[in-house]
Amino acid sequence: MRVGKSIILFGPPGAGKGTQSGLISSITGKPQVSTGDMLREAVKEGTDLGKSAQSYMENGLLVPDQVIMDLIRVRLTNDDADSGLLFDGFPRTLPQAMALEQLTEVEKVISLVVEDDEIVSRITGRRTDPVSGEIYHVVFKPAPPEVSGRLVQRNDDTEETVRKRLATFHQQTAPLSEYYRERGLLIEIDGSGDIKQVSASIGTVLEKDIGS
Ligand code: ADP
Ligand code: ADP
C-alpha cells in the first residue's frame, strides 16, 4: 500500500515543528502525523506499545525503528492518508527514512534550523493545553488567562533530558538532512526568529513551490 506524496517537517526537538505544522497542513491540505504525539497517547492508554516505548522516551532515547514503523503503517490505513501526510518528528533514523520510501514518495523536507542553546530555553518553557492540544511557551507564547491554569508540562521537557535528546538528535537524526539534501528535497528554514517570522518564511517557501 502506497499513499500520495508526503512532506517531512524536520528539525531538533523544540525547533517549532508542532507549532508550525498547522500552517503547513492548511497550505498543503496534508494532515499532520506526529510520532511523538502517537507515542504519548499509547503511553497514556497503557497499551503494550506504550509500555515498551515509555522508558526510551523518558531517557531521551529513540524508540526502536520497528515500533515506529508499525505505528506509521497503521496510521497510513486511515482514509485521510490517501493523498499524503505531513510527518512531524518522523523519520528520525536512516532505516526509518528508507522504510518510508516503500510507503510514500517524499515530496519535500522542510528543515527548521535552530541552535542548541535556543532549543533548551524553548523546551524547558514549553507547556501544552491538554484540552485543545495547543502548544504554548511561558515567555515566547503565553497562554490566555482562561487556559493558563490547566497547562501541563511534558515530563521529558527537563533540561537534563533535553540535553540527552539533543545528543541523540545530533548522532542519529541530523545525518538525515544530508540524505535528503543529496536527493534535492531539503529546504532549510532559519527557525531562530519569533513564531511569526518563521511562519512567514515557511509560507513564502510553500507558496513559491505551489506557484512553480
Ligand atoms: P520533540 O520534538 O520535542 O523531540 P517528540 O514528541 O517528537 O518530541 O518525541 C518525543 C519522544 O518520542 C522522543 O524523544 C523519542 O523518544 C520518541 N520518538 C518520537 N518520534 C520518534 C521516531 N520517529 N523515532 C524514534 N523515537 C521517536
Ligand atoms: P517541536 O515540535 O519541534 O518539538 P514545538 O513546536 O513544541 O517544537 O516548540 C517548542 C517550544 O518552543 C514551544 O513552547 C513553543 O511555543 C516554542 N516555540 C516554537 N517556535 C518558536 C519560535 N520561533 N520562537 C520562540 N519560541 C518558539
| Structural domain that includes position 69 | 3-211
pLDDT above 90 (res 8) = yes
C-beta separation of 40 from 118 below 8 A:
no
pTM assigned to the model: 0.96
Q: What is the Å distance from ligand 1's center to 212 Cα?
A: 33
CATH code for position 8: 3.40.50.300
- Upstream peptide bond of 91 is cis (omega within 30 degrees of 0): yes
Q: What is the Å distance from ligand 2's center to 182 Cα?
A: 28
pLDDT tens digits for 50-100? 999 999 999 999 999 999 999 999 999 999 999 999 999 999 999 999 999
pLDDT tens digits for 197-212? 999 999 999 987 765 5
Q: How many domains does the chain contain in total?
A: 1
| Ligand 2 contact, 194 CB (< 6 A) | yes
Q: What is the DSSP string of 108-168?
A: EEEEEE--HHHHHHHHHTEEE-TTT--EEETTTBPPPHHHHTT-B--TT-SHHHHHHHHHH
Most ligand 1 atoms within 8 A of CB, residue of 69, 73, 85, 92 to mutate: 92
Confidence label for 2 from pLDDT (cuts 50, 70 and 90)? confident
In angstroms, the CA 170 to CA 54 distance is: 21
Selected catalytic residue, list 92, 108, 122, 127: 92
